[in-house]
């Protein structure tokens, strides 16, 4: 195989990977996860890509004296959602890259 054919094949492979990455990123934005804290009193819905969709705070927490606790619970729910989003994202990216001829230890996205 001459160098020109090898370069063309490499470019086609790169284009294919880029297309698959775009499709995977779009899919991640359509998968939803829910972060929860305070035994379900605070919930955060997010996409697997990390976009926040909604925040729900039980009305029993909406008293001025509980402000600090509510803030802590919201932060915990966000972190829970982020962890779940990362887990789903990593699983989806692993599925996408499973069929690609990548060197050992090579991680996507680039």
Strands 32-37 and 52-57: unpaired
**3-class state of residue 76 by DSSP:** helix
pLDDT confidence of residue 58: 94
Domains annotated for the chain, with CATH where assigned, are: 29-93 (3.30.1310.10)
The CA-atom distances, in angstroms, between 41 and each of 36, 72, 75, 83, 87 are 8, 12, 13, 18, 23
Looking at residue 100, the DSSP 8-state letter turns out to be S
Task: Please report how many Cα atoms fall inside a 13 Å half-sphere around the Cα of residue 33, on the Cβ side.
Answer: 22
**3-class state of residue 29 by DSSP:** coil
Tell me which of 37 and 8 has the higher pLDDT: 37
Give the pLDDT mean for 57-66. Answer: 92
pTM of the model: 0.66
Residue 79 confidence (pLDDT) above 70:
yes
**3-class state of residue 33 by DSSP:** strand
**3-class state of residue 36 by DSSP:** strand
Sheet strand arrangement including 52-57? 32-37, 42-47, 52-57
């Amino acid at each position: 195989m001459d160098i020109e054919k090898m370069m063309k094949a490499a470019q086609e492979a790169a284009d294919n990977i880029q297309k698959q990455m775009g499709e995977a990123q779009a899919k991640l934005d359509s998968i939803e996860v829910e972060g929860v804290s305070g035994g379900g009193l605070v919930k955060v819905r997010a996409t697997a890509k990390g976009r926040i969709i909604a925040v729900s705070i039980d009305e029993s927490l909406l008293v001025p004296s509980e402000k600090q606790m509510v803030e802590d619970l919201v932060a915990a729910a966000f972190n829970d959602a982020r962890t779940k989003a990362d887990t789903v994202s990593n699983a989806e990216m692993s599925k996408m890259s499973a069929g690609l001829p990548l060197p050992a230890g090579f991680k996507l996205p680039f």
